[in-house]
Amino acid sequence: MKKLLLIGAAAVVLVVGILVYVLLNVDSIVEMGVNEFGPKVTQTEVHLDNADIGLFSGSGALNGLRVGNPVNRGFKPRDLLAVGTISVQLDRDSLLSDTIIIHEIVIDAPAIVYETQGKMDNFEALLKNIQESTGGSKAEASGESEPAGEQPAESKPSKKLIIENVYVRNGQVTADITGLPGEGLSLDLPEIHIADIGKESGGTTPAKAAAKLVDGLYDGLQQAFKDSGDIVMQGGEWLMDQAGGATQGAQEEVEGAVDELKGLF
């Protein structure tokens, strides 16, 4: 009996020690998680400078997040997304449960690059990478079913997420698309609100949550293109409006500058 009590006490001490470690090192755990698992999920470069999670207040920030372009699908080696600070409000009690509840994520002033290669853009390519890394996209992309006996990587037990609100504000997008001369057209991104990720299912995996975020950003990009008046959808591709829009406007500006120079001389 005495031996059993000692074993039980040792087990309790071990569990408490693990919990204390998690509580005291949650910032480094988040940072390590993003930097270690981000590239595996997206198959691109992902880097987080640091995390600052206030465990007792339930608030925090992710600083210096960069997500690279899917160069494995032929896109230019540069950042698809770069953002200085992402603020987070979460349910602190849920950190030790199977499902982490995040009340709000605010992504402020992100710099986004939208690039096309033929009929595919870099956001679609990133989604394909995420789907493939989680065991779904190869079959989904080809319309085939999963081979018998093979389980997606996400079927393994892992922490789940419920994200109640995501806001993307004050964003800028650089459009590097077919028919656009130079380095690209810079546009203001409309405010994006994505709600209730994983709520209906009682929690979703981080990879599926990431796919929802990419979808939401993509919708915001399309709205920015529509609002610009310079970019049109043709044959399933976003193209410069060759009949007018930015290309025509740029030509008129050049002609005006030439006329001014003639006047000076």
pLDDT in tens, 165-212: 999 999 988 888 755 555 567 888 889 999 999 999 999 988 788 888
How much is the pLDDT for 254?
Answer: 35
How much is the pLDDT for 78?
Answer: 93
How much is the pLDDT for 2?
Answer: 59
How much is the pLDDT for 45?
Answer: 95
How much is the pLDDT for 237?
Answer: 56
How much is the pLDDT for 211?
Answer: 82
Residues of the chain below pLDDT 50 = 137-155, 243-265
How much is the pLDDT for 246?
Answer: 43
How much is the pLDDT for 17?
Answer: 57
How much is the pLDDT for 179?
Answer: 56
What's the pTM?
Answer: 0.65
Place of tokens 């008046």: 229
**Phi-psi bin for 202: left (phi > 0), alpha (psi -120 to 50), beta?**
left
How much is the pLDDT for 252?
Answer: 45
